[in-house]
Amino acid sequence: MTSPAKPTGPAAAPVAPEAPGARVLTLDDLPIRDELRGQSPYGAPQLDVPVLLNTNENPYPLPEALVARIAERVAEAARDLNRYPDRDAVELRTALAGYLTRTAGHAVGVSQVWAANGSNEIIQQLLQTFGGPGRRAIGFEPSYSMHALISRGTGTGWISGPRNEDFTIDVEAAVRAIGELRPEVVFVCSPNNPTATAVAPETVLALYEAAQAAGPSMVVVDEAYAEFSHRPSLLPLIEGRPHLVLTRTMSKAFGAAGLRLGYLAADPAVVDAVQLVRLPYHLSSVTQATALAALEYTDTLLGYVEQLKAERDRLVAELRAAGYEVTESDANFVQFGRFADSHAAWQAILDRGVLVRDNGVPGWLRVSAGTPAENTAFLAAARAVAGEHRTTEESA
């Protein structure tokens, strides 16, 4: 009997130990671009605690019937994995267009929809197309930090625009900033992350008109949490506005954060434009098959959304009853405060087994809506730390 062949190649190579006294390289030792120096990677803490409510995930696992359907779809796709996937994802884009038409109150066709690996890749493709070196983007902070991060990653200059004390966009100041600074891309996040506030259509239209007068410039409305909002989608605004783009994701409402599927709706010319920078065959056959299966179960998954909306409203009501200040929420998360030291409050809640998000907004924390049991555990922790950490108007 012969002994099995030993593995060869890189996988079998031993790892060389570090030489004694060898200096460990840091980012400062590498020739990275200047605009990336001093930046931190995006990400939330991943800790092993009983209740995880820090990343705005949908807490409900996919139903078993959908899991089985995904397995069927993926098995079908697996038979052709020796071939490249549909480069243009036509079947998936058609299904996404149908979903938007049915749920967002405005008819769109396949030529108006584009899909990619998460809404972050959609944002990246938009910035690669319309931003880049010598160009700038503006967003209204605090907002989704990936807008600024991806802007810098694509060599696009970043401008932090103004918000009011209640976290709404200061429209007059924003219009003035767009007119003076003339950014090529304008980001509007509705509902806004991390504040959970929705943006009125009138605000988007005012910013769009200012951007066209100054540019014309692209206006990107990030609707990652639109399905959780009390308000209708802003999708109808794209009609007759070729420089307006709406982005969505399947991570939240569809409970498919692990899928990484985002999409946009816009004028067909925008869809054509982003294909100039998309990588070849960027959406795998498996990703497309899984997303198509999930879209077959839209009604079931949106039923979970209704449960989460009810739990979100419960969090708002009970946090206010406990004496907290709470921002109006149109998302699947709630911003609450105020705290003299928000990080200390975050740690106090964590010490009670619940992980929420410290976004760096002074005086505020953010909690994702979880299952009823998870929310009950969070509320107990929040009540326990309220007296010690919350800042009252009298003490502020």
Asked if omega into 41 is within 30° of 0 (cis), the reply is no
3-state secondary structure the chain: CCCCCCCCCHHHCCCCCCCCCCCCCCHHHCCCCHHHCCCCCCCCCCCCCCEECCCCCCCCCCCHHHHHHHHHHHHHHHCCCCCCCCCCCHHHHHHHHHHHHHHCCCCCCHHHEEEECHHHHHHHHHHHHHCCCCCEEEEECCCCHHHHHHHHHCCCEEEEECECCCCCECHHHHHHHHHHHCCCEEEEECCCCCCCCCCCHHHHHHHHHHHHHHCCCEEEEECCCHHHCCCCCCHHHHCCCCCEEEEEECCCCCCCCCCCCEEEECCHHHHHHHCCCCCCCCCCHHHHHHHHHHHHCHHHHHHHHHHHHHHHHHHHHHHHHCCCEECCCCCCEEEEECECCHHHHHHHHHCCCEECECCCCCCEEEEECCCHHHHHHHHHHHHHHHHHHECCCCCC
Question: How far is it, in rounded angstroms, from Cα 235 to Cα 355?
Answer: 34
Q: What are phi and psi of 34, to 5 degrees?
A: -60, -40
* Domain 51-60+300-389 = CATH 3.40.1160.10: no
Q: What is the pLDDT of residue 391?
A: 64
Q: What is the pLDDT of residue 15?
A: 53
Question: What's the first-to-final CA gap in the chain, in angstroms?
Answer: 81
This prediction has a pTM of 0.89
Q: What is the pLDDT of residue 4?
A: 42
Phi-psi region of 281 (alpha: psi -120 to 50; beta: other; left: phi over 0): left
The two beta strands, 136-140 and 157-161, are parallel
Q: What is the pLDDT of residue 43?
A: 67
Cβ(70)–Cβ(373) below 8 Å: no
Q: How do the pLDDT tens digits run along the chain, 396 residues long?
A: 444 444 444 444 555 555 566 778 888 889 988 878 887 777 666 788 999 999 999 999 999 999 999 999 999 999 999 999 999 999 999 999 999 999 998 999 999 999 999 999 999 999 999 999 999 999 999 999 999 999 999 999 999 999 999 999 999 999 999 999 999 999 999 999 999 999 999 999 999 999 999 989 999 999 999 999 999 999 999 999 999 999 999 999 999 999 999 999 999 999 999 999 999 999 999 999 999 999 999 999 999 999 999 999 999 999 999 999 999 999 999 999 999 999 999 999 999 999 999 988 999 999 999 999 999 999 999 999 997 766 654 444
What residues are paired with 354 via a beta bridge? 51
Extents of the domains making up the chain: 51-60+300-389, 64-296
Question: How far is it, in rounded angstroms, from Cα 169 to Cα 190?
Answer: 11
What residues are paired with 364 via a beta bridge? 337
The two beta strands, 333-337 and 325-326, are antiparallel
Question: How far is it, in rounded angstroms, from Cα 241 to Cα 239?
Answer: 5
Is there a shared CATH topology between the 51-60+300-389 domain and the 64-296 domain? no
Q: What is the pLDDT of residue 36?
A: 80
Cβ(363)–Cβ(337) below 8 Å: yes
pLDDT in tens, 255-278: 999 999 999 999 999 999 999 999
Half-sphere exposure of 139 (CA within 13 A, CB side): 26
pLDDT in tens, 78-105: 999 999 999 999 999 999 999 999 999 8
Question: How far is it, in rounded angstroms, from Cα 314 to Cα 322?
Answer: 12
Q: What is the pLDDT of residue 396?
A: 41
Q: Which residues, in sequence order, are CB contacts of 27 under 8 Å at separation 6+?
A: 37
Question: How far is it, in rounded angstroms, from Cα 326 to Cα 7?
Answer: 59
Cβ(262)–Cβ(119) below 8 Å: yes
Chain length of the chain:
396
Question: How far is it, in rounded angstroms, from Cα 18 to Cα 235?
Answer: 55
* Domain 64-296 = CATH 3.40.50.12280: no
